[in-house]
Amino acid sequence: MMLHVRSTFPDPVKYDLQLMYPHAPDGATSHTSTCPVIAGTTNAETWPDPIFQLVATNFRVVQASSPDDGCE
């Protein structure tokens, strides 16, 4: 599975991502790592297994070279 995120903002954008696999008990979600989307580019996140649902939250603009601009 692959997710493409595109940013048109002038600064990097970060977000939190939860995923749900088809076999998840009771609809449980798991946090997955993400990397900032650099200004004016597209970022791709990939997973080896099928994903039933993705929930993206907490979108925020971060300054380049700040402590919050790395992958989590």
What local confidence, expressed as pLDDT, does residue 66 receive? Answer: 63
Model pTM score: 0.77
For the chain, domain boundaries: 2-61
At 6-61, the pLDDT tens digits run: 989 888 899 999 998 887 778 788 888 888 898 889 989 888 888 888 999 999 98
Q: What is the 3-state secondary structure (H, E, C) of 1-65?
A: CEEEEECCCCCCEEEEEEEECCCCHHHCCEEECCCCECCCCEEEEECCCCCCEEEEEEEEECCCC
